[in-house]
Protein backbone atom coordinates (compact mmCIF):
# COMPACT_ATOMS: atom_id res chain seq x y z
CA UNK A 1 0.00 0.00 0.00
CA UNK A 2 1.36 3.41 -1.00
CA UNK A 3 1.95 5.93 1.79
CA UNK A 4 0.66 9.29 0.51
CA UNK A 5 1.89 12.50 2.16
CA UNK A 6 0.29 15.98 2.13
CA UNK A 7 0.74 17.84 -1.13
CA UNK A 8 2.20 20.90 0.58
CA UNK A 9 5.11 18.74 1.80
CA UNK A 10 5.93 17.92 -1.82
CA UNK A 11 5.72 21.60 -2.73
CA UNK A 12 8.00 22.40 0.18
CA UNK A 13 10.53 19.76 -0.88
CA UNK A 14 10.46 20.93 -4.50
CA UNK A 15 10.86 24.60 -3.54
CA UNK A 16 13.69 23.79 -1.12
CA UNK A 17 15.61 21.87 -3.82
CA UNK A 18 15.24 24.62 -6.43
CA UNK A 19 16.05 27.55 -4.10
CA UNK A 20 19.00 25.74 -2.48
CA UNK A 21 20.68 24.91 -5.75
CA UNK A 22 20.05 28.35 -7.26
CA UNK A 23 21.78 29.96 -4.27
CA UNK A 24 24.54 27.34 -4.22
CA UNK A 25 25.04 27.65 -7.99
CA UNK A 26 25.47 31.40 -8.33
CA UNK A 27 26.65 32.17 -4.82
CA UNK A 28 29.33 29.50 -4.43
CA UNK A 29 30.15 27.39 -7.50
CA UNK A 30 30.01 30.18 -10.10
CA UNK A 31 30.65 33.19 -7.90
CA UNK A 32 33.42 34.29 -10.26
CA UNK A 33 33.09 34.19 -14.09
CA UNK A 34 34.64 31.12 -15.70
CA UNK A 35 34.31 28.96 -18.79
CA UNK A 36 32.24 25.81 -18.17
CA UNK A 37 34.14 22.74 -19.37
CA UNK A 38 32.43 19.99 -21.32
CA UNK A 39 33.01 17.45 -18.53
CA UNK A 40 31.56 19.78 -15.89
CA UNK A 41 28.50 20.35 -18.09
CA UNK A 42 28.03 16.59 -18.55
CA UNK A 43 28.25 16.06 -14.78
CA UNK A 44 25.72 18.82 -14.13
CA UNK A 45 23.36 17.39 -16.78
CA UNK A 46 23.51 13.94 -15.20
CA UNK A 47 22.90 15.50 -11.79
CA UNK A 48 19.76 17.38 -12.86
CA UNK A 49 18.39 14.38 -14.74
CA UNK A 50 18.91 12.28 -11.60
CA UNK A 51 17.13 14.92 -9.47
CA UNK A 52 14.21 15.03 -11.94
CA UNK A 53 13.87 11.23 -12.01
CA UNK A 54 14.10 11.08 -8.21
CA UNK A 55 11.19 13.49 -7.92
CA UNK A 56 9.27 11.31 -10.38
CA UNK A 57 9.75 8.37 -8.00
CA UNK A 58 8.59 10.52 -5.08
CA UNK A 59 5.39 11.32 -7.00
CA UNK A 60 4.89 7.62 -7.68
CA UNK A 61 5.29 6.54 -4.05
CA UNK A 62 3.96 9.50 -2.07
CA UNK A 63 1.66 11.69 -4.22
CA UNK A 64 -2.10 11.34 -4.30
CA UNK A 65 -3.31 13.23 -7.41
CA UNK A 66 -6.77 14.83 -7.50
CA UNK A 67 -9.70 13.16 -9.22
CA UNK A 68 -9.63 9.59 -10.45
CA UNK A 69 -5.95 9.59 -11.41
CA UNK A 70 -3.50 7.29 -9.66
CA UNK A 71 0.02 8.03 -8.49
CA UNK A 72 1.23 5.93 -11.44
CA UNK A 73 -0.66 8.19 -13.85
CA UNK A 74 0.88 11.24 -12.18
CA UNK A 75 4.44 9.83 -12.39
CA UNK A 76 4.07 8.79 -16.04
CA UNK A 77 2.50 12.15 -16.96
CA UNK A 78 5.34 13.94 -15.14
CA UNK A 79 7.94 11.98 -17.10
CA UNK A 80 6.16 12.65 -20.41
CA UNK A 81 5.87 16.39 -19.74
CA UNK A 82 9.54 16.46 -18.68
CA UNK A 83 10.67 14.78 -21.91
CA UNK A 84 8.56 17.11 -24.07
CA UNK A 85 9.94 20.20 -22.31
CA UNK A 86 13.50 18.85 -22.68
CA UNK A 87 12.94 18.35 -26.41
CA UNK A 88 11.43 21.82 -26.79
CA UNK A 89 14.50 23.19 -25.00
CA UNK A 90 16.64 22.04 -27.94
CA UNK A 91 15.22 24.81 -30.13
CA UNK A 92 15.63 27.20 -27.21
CA UNK A 93 19.32 26.27 -26.94
CA UNK A 94 19.79 26.93 -30.65
CA UNK A 95 18.33 30.42 -30.33
CA UNK A 96 20.29 31.24 -27.15
CA UNK A 97 23.50 30.16 -28.87
CA UNK A 98 22.80 32.47 -31.80
CA UNK A 99 22.00 35.37 -29.46
CA UNK A 100 25.27 34.94 -27.55
CA UNK A 101 27.22 34.76 -30.80
CA UNK A 102 25.40 37.72 -32.32
CA UNK A 103 26.28 39.93 -29.33
CA UNK A 104 29.77 38.38 -29.02
CA UNK A 105 29.37 37.57 -25.31
CA UNK A 106 32.54 36.08 -23.84
CA UNK A 107 32.28 32.39 -22.85
CA UNK A 108 33.08 33.01 -19.20
CA UNK A 109 29.84 35.01 -18.90
CA UNK A 110 27.59 32.47 -20.64
CA UNK A 111 26.68 30.77 -17.36
CA UNK A 112 25.59 34.03 -15.74
CA UNK A 113 23.40 34.90 -18.73
CA UNK A 114 21.79 31.47 -18.63
CA UNK A 115 21.30 31.69 -14.86
CA UNK A 116 19.20 34.84 -15.16
CA UNK A 117 17.42 33.30 -18.14
CA UNK A 118 16.47 30.25 -16.08
CA UNK A 119 15.36 32.45 -13.17
CA UNK A 120 13.05 34.36 -15.50
CA UNK A 121 11.77 31.11 -17.01
CA UNK A 122 10.84 29.79 -13.54
CA UNK A 123 8.68 32.85 -12.88
CA UNK A 124 7.15 32.92 -16.37
CA UNK A 125 6.32 29.20 -16.32
CA UNK A 126 4.50 29.66 -13.01
CA UNK A 127 2.45 32.57 -14.37
CA UNK A 128 1.62 30.77 -17.63
CA UNK A 129 0.68 27.50 -15.92
CA UNK A 130 -1.58 29.26 -13.40
CA UNK A 131 -3.21 31.21 -16.23
CA UNK A 132 -3.59 28.00 -18.22
CA UNK A 133 -5.17 26.24 -15.24
CA UNK A 134 -7.59 29.15 -14.79
CA UNK A 135 -8.66 29.08 -18.44
CA UNK A 136 -9.00 25.29 -18.44
CA UNK A 137 -11.25 25.53 -15.37
CA UNK A 138 -13.62 27.68 -17.44
CA UNK A 139 -14.40 24.74 -19.72
CA UNK A 140 -12.86 21.85 -21.63
CA UNK A 141 -13.10 23.84 -24.86
CA UNK A 142 -9.88 25.60 -23.77
CA UNK A 143 -8.04 22.28 -24.08
CA UNK A 144 -9.39 21.99 -27.61
CA UNK A 145 -7.90 25.41 -28.36
CA UNK A 146 -4.57 24.27 -26.89
CA UNK A 147 -4.75 21.16 -29.06
CA UNK A 148 -5.39 23.23 -32.18
CA UNK A 149 -2.40 25.47 -31.32
CA UNK A 150 -0.13 22.44 -30.97
CA UNK A 151 -1.33 20.88 -34.23
CA UNK A 152 -0.72 24.17 -36.03
CA UNK A 153 2.74 24.55 -34.47
CA UNK A 154 3.67 20.94 -35.27
CA UNK A 155 2.47 21.31 -38.85
CA UNK A 156 4.43 24.54 -39.27
CA UNK A 157 7.61 22.98 -37.83
CA UNK A 158 7.25 19.91 -40.02
CA UNK A 159 6.79 21.66 -43.35
CA UNK A 160 8.35 25.08 -42.83
CA UNK A 161 11.30 24.22 -40.61
CA UNK A 162 13.92 26.76 -41.75
CA UNK A 163 16.18 28.15 -39.07
CA UNK A 164 18.00 31.43 -39.62
CA UNK A 165 21.72 30.68 -39.43
CA UNK A 166 22.63 34.36 -39.29
CA UNK A 167 20.98 34.71 -35.88
CA UNK A 168 18.23 36.95 -34.52
CA UNK A 169 17.95 40.54 -35.68
CA UNK A 170 18.01 42.79 -32.57
CA UNK A 171 16.50 45.64 -34.58
CA UNK A 172 13.26 43.67 -35.05
CA UNK A 173 12.80 42.72 -31.39
CA UNK A 174 10.14 44.96 -29.86
CA UNK A 175 11.44 44.61 -26.29
CA UNK A 176 14.98 45.56 -27.31
CA UNK A 177 13.73 48.48 -29.35
CA UNK A 178 11.74 49.66 -26.34
CA UNK A 179 14.79 49.27 -24.05
CA UNK A 180 17.02 51.22 -26.42
CA UNK A 181 14.44 53.97 -26.71
CA UNK A 182 13.76 54.48 -23.00
CA UNK A 183 16.86 53.22 -21.16
CA UNK A 184 20.40 54.53 -21.08
CA UNK A 185 22.54 51.95 -22.86
CA UNK A 186 26.33 52.04 -22.68
CA UNK A 187 28.70 50.51 -25.20
CA UNK A 188 31.50 50.18 -22.64
CA UNK A 189 32.80 46.68 -21.71
CA UNK A 190 30.30 45.12 -19.31
CA UNK A 191 32.82 43.05 -17.26
CA UNK A 192 29.99 40.81 -16.14
CA UNK A 193 27.80 43.66 -14.88
CA UNK A 194 24.23 44.38 -15.94
CA UNK A 195 24.37 48.06 -14.94
CA UNK A 196 27.10 50.69 -14.67
CA UNK A 197 27.19 54.12 -13.06
CA UNK A 198 28.82 57.00 -14.93
CA UNK A 199 28.79 60.56 -13.64
CA UNK A 200 26.06 59.67 -11.18
CA UNK A 201 23.78 58.20 -13.87
CA UNK A 202 22.70 54.59 -14.28
CA UNK A 203 23.46 52.84 -17.58
CA UNK A 204 22.52 49.36 -18.78
CA UNK A 205 25.16 47.18 -20.42
CA UNK A 206 25.15 44.88 -23.44
CA UNK A 207 24.87 41.91 -21.05
CA UNK A 208 21.57 43.31 -19.77
CA UNK A 209 20.24 43.55 -23.34
CA UNK A 210 21.24 39.95 -24.03
CA UNK A 211 19.40 38.71 -20.93
CA UNK A 212 16.38 40.80 -21.94
CA UNK A 213 16.42 39.26 -25.41
CA UNK A 214 16.73 35.71 -24.05
CA UNK A 215 13.84 36.30 -21.64
CA UNK A 216 11.66 37.59 -24.47
CA UNK A 217 12.44 34.57 -26.65
CA UNK A 218 11.69 32.22 -23.74
CA UNK A 219 8.32 33.94 -23.45
CA UNK A 220 7.63 32.89 -27.04
CA UNK A 221 8.77 29.31 -26.39
CA UNK A 222 6.47 29.15 -23.35
CA UNK A 223 3.49 29.69 -25.67
CA UNK A 224 4.26 26.26 -27.16
CA UNK A 225 5.54 24.46 -24.08
CA UNK A 226 2.62 25.28 -21.75
CA UNK A 227 -0.14 23.97 -24.07
CA UNK A 228 2.11 20.93 -24.64
CA UNK A 229 2.29 20.38 -20.88
CA UNK A 230 -1.49 20.69 -20.52
CA UNK A 231 -1.89 18.03 -23.21
CA UNK A 232 -0.26 15.60 -20.79
CA UNK A 233 -1.95 16.62 -17.53
CA UNK A 234 -3.89 19.44 -15.90
CA UNK A 235 -2.38 18.74 -12.47
CA UNK A 236 -0.36 21.79 -11.35
CA UNK A 237 2.04 19.63 -9.32
CA UNK A 238 2.88 17.50 -12.36
CA UNK A 239 3.00 20.42 -14.81
CA UNK A 240 5.12 22.88 -12.86
CA UNK A 241 7.65 20.51 -11.32
CA UNK A 242 8.33 18.71 -14.62
CA UNK A 243 8.72 22.03 -16.46
CA UNK A 244 11.04 23.57 -13.88
CA UNK A 245 13.29 20.52 -13.52
CA UNK A 246 13.64 20.49 -17.31
CA UNK A 247 14.44 24.22 -17.31
CA UNK A 248 16.96 23.81 -14.45
CA UNK A 249 18.90 21.34 -16.58
CA UNK A 250 18.83 23.68 -19.57
CA UNK A 251 22.07 25.50 -18.68
CA UNK A 252 24.13 22.33 -18.36
CA UNK A 253 22.56 20.92 -21.52
CA UNK A 254 23.49 24.13 -23.33
CA UNK A 255 27.19 23.66 -22.59
CA UNK A 256 26.99 19.98 -23.55
CA UNK A 257 25.21 20.56 -26.86
CA UNK A 258 26.43 24.01 -27.95
CA UNK A 259 29.11 22.56 -30.24
CA UNK A 260 27.22 19.49 -31.44
CA UNK A 261 23.58 20.59 -31.58
CA UNK A 262 23.80 20.92 -35.38
CA UNK A 263 24.31 17.15 -35.54
CA UNK A 264 20.75 16.55 -34.29
CA UNK A 265 19.34 18.09 -37.45
CA UNK A 266 16.32 15.76 -37.56
CA UNK A 267 15.27 16.29 -33.95
CA UNK A 268 13.06 19.23 -34.82
CA UNK A 269 11.09 16.97 -37.18
CA UNK A 270 10.66 14.39 -34.41
CA UNK A 271 9.53 17.20 -32.12
CA UNK A 272 7.04 18.43 -34.71
CA UNK A 273 5.54 14.92 -34.84
CA UNK A 274 5.32 14.90 -31.04
CA UNK A 275 3.45 18.22 -31.11
CA UNK A 276 1.11 16.88 -33.78
CA UNK A 277 0.49 13.76 -31.69
CA UNK A 278 -0.18 15.50 -28.37
CA UNK A 279 -2.25 18.19 -30.09
CA UNK A 280 -4.25 15.49 -31.86
CA UNK A 281 -4.61 13.67 -28.55
CA UNK A 282 -6.28 16.75 -27.03
CA UNK A 283 -8.70 16.90 -29.96
CA UNK A 284 -9.25 13.12 -30.00
CA UNK A 285 -11.40 12.94 -26.86
CA UNK A 286 -14.07 15.53 -27.86
CA UNK A 287 -14.12 14.10 -31.39
CA UNK A 288 -14.74 10.50 -30.21
CA UNK A 289 -17.28 11.62 -27.59
CA UNK A 290 -19.11 13.66 -30.22
CA UNK A 291 -19.27 10.71 -32.63
CA UNK A 292 -20.52 8.44 -29.83
CA UNK A 293 -23.13 11.01 -28.82
CA UNK A 294 -24.64 10.89 -32.32
CA UNK A 295 -24.30 7.08 -32.43
CA UNK A 296 -21.85 7.29 -35.33
CA UNK A 297 -19.18 5.40 -33.37
CA UNK A 298 -19.39 2.37 -31.08
CA UNK A 299 -19.76 3.29 -27.41
CA UNK A 300 -17.01 0.82 -26.47
CA UNK A 301 -14.31 2.85 -28.20
CA UNK A 302 -11.92 4.32 -25.64
CA UNK A 303 -12.24 8.10 -25.43
CA UNK A 304 -8.86 8.72 -23.77
CA UNK A 305 -5.28 7.79 -24.61
CA UNK A 306 -3.51 6.45 -21.52
CA UNK A 307 -0.45 8.27 -20.11
CA UNK A 308 1.69 5.17 -20.68
CA UNK A 309 0.89 5.08 -24.41
CA UNK A 310 1.60 8.82 -24.66
CA UNK A 311 4.98 8.30 -23.01
CA UNK A 312 5.88 5.40 -25.32
CA UNK A 313 4.94 7.34 -28.46
CA UNK A 314 6.83 10.45 -27.27
CA UNK A 315 9.96 8.40 -26.51
CA UNK A 316 9.74 6.59 -29.85
CA UNK A 317 9.40 9.77 -31.92
CA UNK A 318 12.16 11.70 -30.13
CA UNK A 319 14.50 8.71 -29.83
CA UNK A 320 13.94 7.81 -33.48
CA UNK A 321 14.75 11.36 -34.59
CA UNK A 322 18.01 11.34 -32.58
CA UNK A 323 19.08 7.94 -33.94
CA UNK A 324 18.30 8.95 -37.53
CA UNK A 325 20.25 12.20 -37.04
CA UNK A 326 23.29 10.13 -36.10
CA UNK A 327 22.82 7.60 -38.90
CA UNK A 328 22.08 10.24 -41.55
CA UNK A 329 24.58 13.11 -41.16
CA UNK A 330 23.52 16.62 -42.26
CA UNK A 331 24.40 17.63 -45.82
CA UNK A 332 25.99 20.90 -44.69
The number of distinct structural domains making up the chain is 1
Per-residue pLDDT at 1: 45
DSSP state of 25: I
Closest CA to 232 of 90, 121, 136: 136
pLDDT at 31 over 80: no
* Domain assignment present for 180: yes
State the Cα–Cα distance between residues 9 and 15, nearest whole angstrom. Answer: 10
The secondary structure element, H or E, covering residue 255 is helix 250-257
Check residues 328 and 285 and name the one with the higher pLDDT: 328
**Which pLDDT value is given to residue 28?**
64
Each residue of 45-89: pLDDT tens digit?
899 999 999 999 999 999 988 877 788 889 999 999 999 888 887
Does residue 271 fall inside a structural domain? Answer: no
The answer to whether 325 and 265 are in contact (CB under 8 A) is yes
Inside any domain, residue 301: no
Q: 98 by DSSP, 3-state: which? A: helix
DSSP letter at 234 equals -
Say how far apart CA 38 and CA 119 lie, in whole Å.
Answer: 23
Does some domain include residue 286? no
Does a structural domain hold residue 62?
yes
Cα separation, 189 vs 191, in Å, equals 6
Query: 138 CB contacts (<8 Å, ≥6 apart)?
Result: none
Kindly report the pTM of this predicted structure: 0.83
CA distances from 67 to 60, 224, 235 (A): 16, 26, 10
Closest CA to 284 of 302, 270, 259, 258: 302
pLDDT digits (tens, 9 = 90+) for 127-143: 888 888 888 888 777 88
> How would residue 166 be classed by pLDDT, with cut points 50, 70 and 90?
very low
Q: Is 221 exposed, middle or buried (0-12, 13-18, 19+ CB in 10 A)?
A: middle
242: in domain: yes
User: Which among 212, 243, 48 has a CA at the least distance from the CA of 126?
Assistant: 243
Of the pLDDT bands very low, low, confident and very high (cuts 50, 70, 90), residue 168 is low
Residue-range definition of the domain harbouring residue 205:
7-262
pLDDT digit string (tens) for 304-322? 777 788 889 988 998 898 8
Question: Is position 209 within any domain?
Answer: yes
**Is the residue at 291 inside a domain?**
no
Amino acid sequence: MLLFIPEYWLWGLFSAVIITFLIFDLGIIHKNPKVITFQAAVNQSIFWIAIALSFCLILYFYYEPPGKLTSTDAAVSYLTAYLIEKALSMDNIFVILLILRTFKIEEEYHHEVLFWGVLGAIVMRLIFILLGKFFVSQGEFVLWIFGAILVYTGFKMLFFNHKQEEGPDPEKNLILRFARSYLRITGEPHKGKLILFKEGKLYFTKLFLVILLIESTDLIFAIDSIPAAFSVSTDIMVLYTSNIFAVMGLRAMFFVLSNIIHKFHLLSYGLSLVLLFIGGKMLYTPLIEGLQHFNILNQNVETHISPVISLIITLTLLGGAIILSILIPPKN
